Amino acid sequence: MPEQLITIKTVDLKNNCPECFSKDGLKLTFKQRFIETALYKSITKEVSTELNCTVCNTAIFPARWTDDIERVYDYQMKAFKPKKESRKYKGLFWVLIIGFIAIIAGIISLLVYKL
């Protein structure tokens, strides 16, 4: 599970579904890429969107969007505020850094005392 998309915001749209023509089921979901490794956790700037109809359980791809859906999508994209890009280092990272510094300090002290 090193990379995944986390849901940041879900918006209910009042537009007609292009598949079942229901006016109650469209949901626009904003997701942001989240990366987790052994050394760090990171949220990236990459944002993706999904448009689904909960009435007919269909993913609505941009090729099927009406002009109304495109206008609402553009408005929601402007209003959406993604989470700030961030990186948090885990304990293993800090252990490796401190160990590396200790090894370098040991080598330097050995070289200084030999001279």
User: pLDDT tens for residues 25-68?
Assistant: 899 999 999 988 888 889 888 889 999 998 888 899 999 888 99
Contact 39, 89 (CB under 8 A): yes
Reported pTM: 0.71
